[in-house]
Amino acid sequence: MARNCRFAVAVHVAALLAMEEQSRTSEWIAGSVNTNPVVVRRILSALAKAGLVISTRGINGGSTLAKSPERITLLDLHRAVDEEETPALHNQPPNPACPVGRNIQSVLVRVMDRAEAAKEAVLATTTLADVTGALRAATG
């Protein structure tokens, strides 16, 4: 799965578990996400490693949230499934003899660091309960 999709799928999975309030299998979850159960199991594994989900194996197995939706932030989900990534910069070093080439990377890193901090601030103040509340409101 593409890196940029993991977060969206993780929020989808966590929201399903929060709204169902019972153990659900990766096959059942995959039906909602419209993806292969293997993809869901990878996401569930990352969420379990982060302490956000509890999964049990076997015929009566399934997954549930490890914490209440009010105690899980979108930043928790983001950090569970998205590895730290450095900002995308030039594939080749720019020309150091050029005034732009000499400085562009350091300028871009500062801008991208600020953008990342702003994103994390929003995710840190948005809980899974906020997401499920918005979903319930959207479905009337």
Q: CA-CA distance, 140 to 136, in Å (whole number)?
A: 6
Confirm whether 22 is domain-assigned: yes
Residue 35 lies in a domain: yes
Please report whether residue 102 resides in a domain: yes
Q: Domain containing 77 — which CATH number?
A: 1.10.10.10
Domain around 31: 6-139
Residue 1, in any domain of the structure: no
| Nearest alpha carbon to residue 64 among 74, 55, 73 | 55
Q: pTM above 0.75?
A: yes
Q: How many distinct structural domains can be found in the chain?
A: 1
Residue 134 lies in a domain: yes
- Strands, DSSP E only, in the chain? 53-56, 62-65
> Could you list the pLDDT tens digit for every one of the 140 residues in the chain?
555 689 999 999 999 999 987 899 999 999 999 999 999 999 999 999 999 999 998 888 899 999 999 999 999 999 999 876 666 777 788 999 999 999 999 999 999 999 999 999 999 999 999 999 999 999 87
Q: Is residue 116 part of a domain?
A: yes
- In 3D space, the residue among 73, 56, 72 whose CA is nearest the CA of residue 64 turns out to be 56
